[in-house]
Amino acid sequence: MPVPATRKDLMIVNMGPQHPSMHGVLRLIVTLDGEDVIDCEPILGYLHRGMEKIAENRTIIQYLPYVTRWDYLATMFTEAITVNGPEQLGNIQVPKRASYIRVIMLELSRIASHLLWLGPFMADIGAQTPFFYIFREREFIYDLFEAATGMRMMHNYFRIGGVAADLPYGWIDKCFDFCDYFLTGVTEYQKLITRNPIFFERVEGVGIIGGEEAINWGLSGPMLRASGIQWDLRKVDNYECYDEFDWEVQWQKEGDSLARYLVRISEMAESIKIIQQALEGIPGGPYENLEVRRLDRARDYEWNDFEYRFISKKPSPTFELSKQELYVRVEAPKGELGIFLIGDRSVFPWRWKIRPPGFINLQILPQLVKRMKLADIMTILGSIDIIMGEVDR
């Protein structure tokens, strides 16, 4: 839709790869007519690290440290999908306790990711205070992760067939304390932000996406749910053990940045609900399907037989991917994260294609900023919630 130009020459401004909001290295070339935006062109590729080609030369267990670097704020999801692929290829069952631990970790990671979306989003709009508040809560999550996995951010926790280590003693009680504390934190954000008139002025009606348009452009995650489509892979696909908990899909109807904000805030509260239910119901049992580590899976030996070989500490690198193709997906906090995996009867995958949610969600940016003012670009870009680590891979 052509916007009437008020001047003869349009100004082309480069919002360069480095800019202060924490979206990563994204370059936007914006064509301006005064304050109105005529067009905006994102240029990607500044953080391309060749993750897909590296994957063709590493076994799954060797590749796990790389995957947390795609979406470095919601790291458990990338790990979850990396192990889900081979698990589905090899039809490996995950024990119940491992599934519950995974769900707890995934939901904690979702909260962490939404928190670190909220901080820079508010900082882009102009509110400096939430940026500090979110780190306070995120530090608690980091502490929980560090106690369970050993690392604050780039945990190498998920394994094919379960998780790497069991939860330490007392972790569950600490997690309960965190859940109770976090609910008060969410009310604090509601009081500070959601009823703030300045926030409403900046965010309401900005960047509206209709439901049909959202589906056409392939959006997923909170962007889709804020436009009125109740599509959540956790409900639709029923992976891990999400169907054993009682929770609702959070969605809004308007499709503007305010709706996306509300969806993410309520998703955080919903995740706490899921975590609490999971913590109450966590079963005992093994935390890893140790059969995966058993060598020589072709010949089925009896346990403790003379020829039954089992290495307990080091995982066997010979987990062979069969010659099949598979598309596996999870509901990451940013959208639908997917891996298209082609195995080749060897330990290395033949093709490992990462389908990042941010890559697709970013495509709609030039559409959305066309009639907006310059200051709205940052609001819209913030509400799309992209991480360049996964967009560029």
Partner 1 sequence: MDNQSIFKYSWETFPKKWIHKMERSEHGNRSDTNTDYPFPLLCFLKLHTYTRVQVSIDICGVDHPSRKRRFEVVHNLLSTRYNSRIRVQTSADEVTRISPVVSPFPSAGRWEREVWDMFGVSSINHPDLRRISTDHGFEGHPLRKDLPLSGYVEVRYDDPEKRVVSEPIEMTQEFRYFDSASPWEQRSDG
Residues that bind partner 1 (CB under 8 A): 44-45, 48, 50, 52-54, 56-59, 62, 88-89, 215-218, 229, 231, 236, 295-298, 309, 311, 316-320, 324-327, 336, 338, 340, 342, 345-348, 350-351, 353, 355, 359-360, 363, 392-393
CB closer to partner 1, 82 vs 276: 82
Report which of 86, 75, 206, 217 is spatially closest to residue 146, judged by C-alpha positions.
75
**Cβ at position 217, least distance to partner 1 in Å:** 5
CB closer to partner 1, 51 vs 148: 51
CB count within 10 Å of CB 299 equals 8
CB closer to partner 1, 111 vs 391: 391
Question: 3-state class of 165 per DSSP?
Answer: coil
335, containing H or E segment? strand 335-342
CB closer to partner 1, 1 vs 298: 298
Q: What strands lie across the sheet with 27-33, from one edge to the other?
A: 11-15, 27-33, 36-43
**Cβ at position 100, least distance to partner 1 in Å:** 25
Residues 224, 231 contacting (CB under 8 angstroms): yes
**Cβ at position 197, least distance to partner 1 in Å:** 36
**Cβ at position 187, least distance to partner 1 in Å:** 34
**In angstroms, rounded to a whole number, what is the distance separating the alpha carbons of residues 17 and 27?**
4
**Cβ at position 393, least distance to partner 1 in Å:** 8
Q: Could you tell me whether strands 325-332 and 162-163 are parallel, antiparallel, or unpaired per DSSP bridges?
A: unpaired
CB closer to partner 1, 215 vs 269: 215
CB closer to partner 1, 174 vs 353: 353
Which conformational region is residue 10 in: left (phi greater than 0), alpha (psi within -120 to 50 degrees), or beta? beta
Q: Is the dihedral of CA 158, 245, 330, 221 positive or negative?
A: negative
**Cβ at position 202, least distance to partner 1 in Å:** 28
CB closer to partner 1, 267 vs 392: 392
**In angstroms, rounded to a whole number, what is the distance separating the alpha carbons of residues 59 and 62?**
5
**Cβ at position 215, least distance to partner 1 in Å:** 5
**Cβ at position 164, least distance to partner 1 in Å:** 20
**In angstroms, rounded to a whole number, what is the distance separating the alpha carbons of residues 109 and 55?**
24
Question: 3-state class of 2 per DSSP?
Answer: coil
Q: What single-letter amino acid sits at 373?
A: K
**Cβ at position 326, least distance to partner 1 in Å:** 4
Question: 3-state class of 116 per DSSP?
Answer: helix
**Cβ at position 81, least distance to partner 1 in Å:** 13
78, containing H or E segment? helix 75-90
CB closer to partner 1, 119 vs 221: 221
- Partners of residue 13 on adjacent β-strands: 30
Burial class (CB in 10 A: 0-12, 13-18, 19+), 241: middle
Residue 264, CA atoms < 13 Å, CB-side half-sphere? 30
CB closer to partner 1, 217 vs 247: 217
Burial class (CB in 10 A: 0-12, 13-18, 19+), 224: buried
Q: Where are the beta strands (DSSP E) in 73-163?
A: 158-159, 162-163
CB closer to partner 1, 62 vs 196: 62
